[in-house]
Amino acid sequence: MNSNEAKKRIEELRNLVEYHAKRYYDDDSPEISDFEYDMLMVELRNLEKEFPEFSSSDSLTQKVGGHVKKGFKEVVHEVPLQSLQDIFDFDELIEFDKRVKKQSQELDKPTKYVVETKIDGLSAALKYENGILVEGATRGNGLVGEDVTENLKTIKTIPQKLKEPLNITVRGEVFISKSDFEKMNEERSLNEEPLFANARNAAAGSLRQLDSKITASRPLDIYIFNVQKIEGREFNSHYEELLFLDDLGFNVNPVKILCNTVEEAIGAIKKIGEDREKLTFGIDGAVVKVDNLSLREDLGSTAKTPRWAIAYKYPPEKKETILKDIICQVGRTGVITPMAILEPVSVAGSTISKTTLHNEDFIKEKDLRIGDTVVIQKAGDVIPEIVEVKKEKRTGKELPFQMPTTCPVCGAEALREEGEAAIRCMGIECPAKLLRNIIHFVSKEGMDIDGLGENLVEQFIEKGLIENIADIYSLTFEDIASLKKNGTKFANNLVNAIQDSKNRPLYKLITALGIRHIGTKSAKTIAKYYKTMENLMNAKIEELATLDDVGQIMAESIYEFFNQDQTIDLITKLRNAGVNMKEEQEEETDQRFLGLTFVLTGSLDNYTREEAGEIIEKFGGKVSSSVSKKTNYVLAGEEAGSKLTKAQELGVTIITEEQFNKMIKE
């Protein structure tokens, strides 16, 4: 490679690693594996070494990635939280040992190493004054991090008070255990939320929440691995420090092996690699540290990394196995997800027998067939994934897979809407969707049944008291009271709330049914036009599409929904239970806002936005979510935002809540 080619490639690599570092450190949402990122860094480091004329202090080979997230206060680290130089073979470790020994022999200082697991998490510093935790911060760029004190205080294994009243700053790694991570992703999968790519990013995203209640709800843990600064104590060795931290009450990294030689260190790294499956937490390598603290000072550091420590990175393990079958699972919102059933194979220390295939497009892209030989890898050493199909091993007996056209749980029609990757079950009575459907049905936006929360619904389902939405109206006082100790008053209130909900306006019922793309606003338009549920069920797509607030996609969704056998069955049950199926006759003839469009922004003193909107609509007006030249009034409350600014720019009339009150009382 000549000089010009090297310069061009170095610039490309710097842009690439900057982009992926931002995705990893700042966004907690990586697009490539750790190994792929490491290989980009290795190539960049080697080119900068070969062509030193193109080296730069701005390169990520010379500095730590990561920035302070907006919303957090900055914390300047008294002692920098540096990163480690990565190596990928034992020859590089032997070279590291030679450099250390050269200095140690000149100074006549003993050379020992401590080998520790490189925990796959987010680095943090904890500062204690007189033994009390006063500050916690993320690493950030190594020099400046984010103040996450309140979030760190939610982690149960972080002591709020030490056994001794010391002034000390320690460094640790915040992580989520393998089992907790799998549970989190299983829950997210059921809720059809995006899965966390790996445990590290799940931990980082959880710790860097602006709301500490969210952090508290996540199963975070921490292992302490270093003393950054301490007053009134001196130590000779790192291993001695770790034992002291353990005695102080810290949750110290459990894997810490004292080695007399580099050969022992290599043996320790190999042993950790063999035992990875036994660890309860994820690792992406092993760290080799000089034990002698005085020698560490002599060795010093670069701007980015200490010269007294190095990280051995384990390569991602890949294994071949057979794709025995593909089955489909139905999530809580009806998304049908294909799942690979595999010939069991051990990968990165655990037995893999199944993995998600995401969606129909993933199967087509990989050209996956039942019976194929496939290559399995664990992303982030946690999530198993199919990375390759060995097409050269095909025998001709492999079978192509087609996604189902009906739901595998309830038999209802399964559809893939234009522009979406997911195929969904359309059945409203599908058992897989039951909990989510009922939670939406009883919500404030739906039938507004106060007191019927998710936990209670789950109990009713578990006891077999609710098998479909209409069963809500069959619940008795005894059914409800049996679930709560001294629940007489609660049961009375809930029975009354259920009875009251039968008289809700038709638009509330339409909203409660959870028709795809249909919200409160469009439900009101539909109810006003069709007057009865029967008329709506017989509506044609062409007619629906002509209504205000209802376009072609929404019209098709409504038509498909009401032409499902399960929908017809549910509506019949609800009608038999006495639920209102007609739009109330409008008693209010005052149409003072007819032809006027309002936009609501900010918070009002006497109304919610929904209540103010209902008043406007009652008087014939229309409520829009965005400001345009066609907007007549912007009703601005406190902390009004960009809508107010846009109204001012367009010259739209802005009214206060007081002016609004006058308009509706005149």
pLDDT in tens, 644-660: 989 998 999 999 999 99
Residue 418 resides in a domain: no
Which CATH number covers residue 351?
Answer: 2.40.50.140
pLDDT at 468: 92
pLDDT at 34: 67
Residue 414 resides in a domain: no
In this structure, the answer to whether residues 261 and 282 fall within a common structural domain is yes
Q: For residues 333 and 389, which has the higher predicted lDDT (pLDDT)?
A: 389
Residue 406 resides in a domain: no
In this structure, the answer to whether residues 103 and 250 fall within a common structural domain is yes
Residue 63 resides in a domain: no
Nearest-angstrom CA–CA distance, 29 and 129: 35
Which CATH number covers residue 656?
Answer: 3.40.50.10190
In this structure, the answer to whether residues 479 and 551 fall within a common structural domain is yes
Residues 337-371: b if buried by 16+ CB within 10 A, e if exposed: bbebebeebebbbeebeebbbbbbeebeebebbbe
Residue pLDDT, tens place only, 470-515: 999 999 998 888 887 667 888 999 999 999 999 999 999 999 999 9
The residue from 400, 415, 443 where one domain ends is 400
In this structure, the answer to whether residues 385 and 438 fall within a common structural domain is no
> For the residues of 154-198, what is the DSSP string, one character each?
T-TTS-SB-SS---EEEEEEEE--HHHHHHHHHHHHHTTPPPPS-
In this structure, the answer to whether residues 463 and 536 fall within a common structural domain is yes
Mean pLDDT is highest, among 7-11, 487-491, 514-518, for: 514-518
In this structure, the answer to whether residues 108 and 140 fall within a common structural domain is yes
pLDDT at 98: 95
Q: Mean of the pLDDT values across residues 618-642?
A: 88
Confidence of residue 530 (pLDDT cuts 50, 70, 90): very high
Confidence of residue 590 (pLDDT cuts 50, 70, 90): confident
Q: Which of 287-296, 464-473, 540-549 has the lowest mean pLDDT?
A: 540-549
E strands, 428-516, where? none
The residue from 313, 347, 366 where one domain ends is 313
Rounded to the nearest 10 degrees, the angle between the axes of helix 565-576 and helix 552-562 is 70
Q: Which of 27-41, 186-200, 609-623 has the lowest mean pLDDT?
A: 27-41
Q: Which of 7-16, 121-130, 510-519 has the lowest mean pLDDT?
A: 7-16
How is residue 262 annotated by DSSP? H
Structure tokens at 138: 């993320």
Residue 332 has pLDDT above 90, yes or no: no
pLDDT at 618: 83
In this structure, the answer to whether residues 184 and 253 fall within a common structural domain is yes
Residue 409 resides in a domain: no
Residue 463 resides in a domain: yes
The set of catalytic residues is 118
Residue 350 has pLDDT above 70, yes or no: no
Contacts of 480 (CB under 8 A, 6+ apart): 487, 490, 491, 494, 495
Residue 623 has pLDDT above 60, yes or no: yes
How many domains, in total, are found in the chain?
5
In this structure, the answer to whether residues 254 and 389 fall within a common structural domain is no
Dmax over CA atoms of the chain, in Å, equals 98
Q: Mean of the pLDDT values across residues 251-257?
A: 94
Q: Which helix or strand (DSSP H or E) is residue 229 part of? A: strand 221-230
pLDDT at 70: 63
> For the residues of 498-537, what is the DSSP string, one character each?
HHHHTTS-HHHHHHHTT-TT--HHHHHHHHHHH-BHHHHH
How is residue 145 annotated by DSSP? E
Q: Return the SS3 of 294.
A: helix
Average pLDDT over the chain reads 88
How is residue 283 annotated by DSSP? E
Percent of the chain residues past pLDDT 70, beyond the cut: 94
Residue pLDDT, tens place only, 149-171: 999 999 999 999 999 999 999 99
Residue 65 resides in a domain: no
- The sign one gets for the Cα dihedral 660, 661, 662, 665 is positive
Residue 233 has pLDDT above 60, yes or no: yes
In this structure, the answer to whether residues 295 and 326 fall within a common structural domain is no
Residue pLDDT, tens place only, 411-438: 998 988 777 888 989 899 899 889 889 9
pLDDT at 295: 95
Nearest-angstrom CA–CA distance, 559 and 563: 6
Burial of 623 (0-12, 13-18, 19+ CB in 10 A): buried
pLDDT at 583: 86
In this structure, the answer to whether residues 86 and 191 fall within a common structural domain is yes
Q: Which helix or strand (DSSP H or E) is residue 44 part of? A: helix 34-50
Structure tokens at 402: 């087609």
Which CATH number covers residue 46?
Answer: 1.10.287.610
68 with 88: CB under 8 angstroms? Answer: no
pLDDT at 259: 97
pLDDT at 586: 56
Q: Return the SS3 of 548.
A: coil
Which CATH number covers residue 555?
Answer: 1.10.150.20
Nearest-angstrom CA–CA distance, 297 and 169: 18
In this structure, the answer to whether residues 330 and 261 fall within a common structural domain is no
Q: Mean of the pLDDT values across residues 2-13?
A: 84
Nearest-angstrom CA–CA distance, 663 and 652: 17
In this structure, the answer to whether residues 466 and 396 fall within a common structural domain is no
Give me the domain span that covers residue 439: 426-580
311 with 86: CB under 8 angstroms? Answer: yes
Residue 382 has pLDDT above 60, yes or no: no
pLDDT at 66: 57
Q: What is the CA radius of gyration of the chain?
A: 31
pLDDT at 160: 92
Residue 413 resides in a domain: no
